[in-house]
Amino acid sequence: TMALFSGFAVTVCDPREEYRSAWSVPGAKVLSEMPDDVVTAFKPDRRSCVIALTHDPKLDDLALLEALETDAFYIGAIGSRRNNDARHQRMAEHFDLSEAKLQRLRGPIGIYIGSKTPSEIAVSVMAEVLAVKNGVVLPRDMEVAQAKNERAVLHNDPGELVCGIKR
């Protein structure tokens, strides 16, 4: 819904009926094909983004591999830092992807706002997508992949932070 509200045409693809049937977002196209086939047929260009959300490497990785061969302005996958590190390692080892191509793959996606709920995570992801689309370079500590590291450093300090100022 956030992507539609932001003016994007949205295509959701999931070959798993139990997940696909749960999608009832008016305005989103829902397909049952394999995600990599959908990405190939879609032919993403510099106005497109491809985001993998299934948490299933058999579905996500192949779609992301196809997306990395396109001009999509944003390519990313949801998941933990550990899962995203494992994905990068799999892609480098098994698909011989260069570091330059792997650098285009974002993950964990979103900006760090401490989100736990699906709706807040959607806001976080769309904020990052829109920043990239608009050419905004986010500070590294706002990226989900980095922010938790920064936050851990701050929490080791017994002082309380308010707006970045220790009191």
Residue 139 has what pLDDT?
Answer: 87
Residue 160 has what pLDDT?
Answer: 40
Residue 162 has what pLDDT?
Answer: 38
Residue 115 has what pLDDT?
Answer: 86
Residue 167 has what pLDDT?
Answer: 35
End-to-end Cα separation, the chain, in angstroms: 40
Is the full-model pTM beyond 0.95? no
Fold of the domain spanning 2-137: Rossmann fold (3.40.50)
Q: Averaged in consecutive runs of 10 residues, what is the pLDDT profile of the chain (167 residues)?
A: 93 94 90 97 97 94 97 96 94 90 94 91 96 92 70 47 37
Residue 40 has what pLDDT?
Answer: 98
The per-residue DSSP string of the chain comes to -HHHHTT---EEE-S-HHHHTT---TT-EEE-S-HHHHHHHH---TT-EEEE-S--HHHHHHHHHHHHTS--SEEEE-S-HHHHHHHHHHHHHHH---HHHHHTEE-S-SB-S---SHHHHHHHHHHHHHHHHTT----GGGBHHHHHHHHHHHHTSSSPEETTEE-
